[in-house]
């Protein structure tokens, strides 16, 4: 469901296909917003994974003593 955005949401000027930003006003395109949202989610999952690993290893270390 990749709907190509042809015009800027903010100023309405034509966009270069698959552009991340509007060349006229600098507004982020819908595609870029979605990618940023995805990147934040991936980062959050990665962060939680690291936290879980640290807690897990701390627990294992405490149990082994």
Binding site for Zn ion (CB under 5 A): 8, 10-11, 22, 24-25, 27
Our CB check for Zn ion shows the closer of 12 and 56 to be 12
CB of 36 to Zn ion, least distance (A): 17
Our CB check for Zn ion shows the closer of 24 and 33 to be 24
CB of 32 to Zn ion, least distance (A): 12
CB of 38 to Zn ion, least distance (A): 22
Q: DSSP string covering the chain, please?
A: --PPP-B-TTT--B--TT-SB-TTT-PBPHHHHHHHHHHHHHHHHHHHHHHHHHHHHHHHHHHH-
Whether the CB-CB separation of 24 and 17 falls below 8 Å is answered with: no
């Amino acid at each position: 469901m990749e709907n190509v955005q042809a015009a800027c949401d903010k100023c309405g000027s034509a966009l270069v296909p698959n552009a991340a930003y509007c060349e006229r006003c600098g507004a982020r395109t819908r595609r870029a917003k979605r990618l940023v949202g995805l990147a934040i989610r991936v980062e959050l999952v990665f962060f939680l994974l690291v936290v879980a690993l640290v807690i897990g290893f701390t627990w294992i270390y405490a149990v082994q003593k």
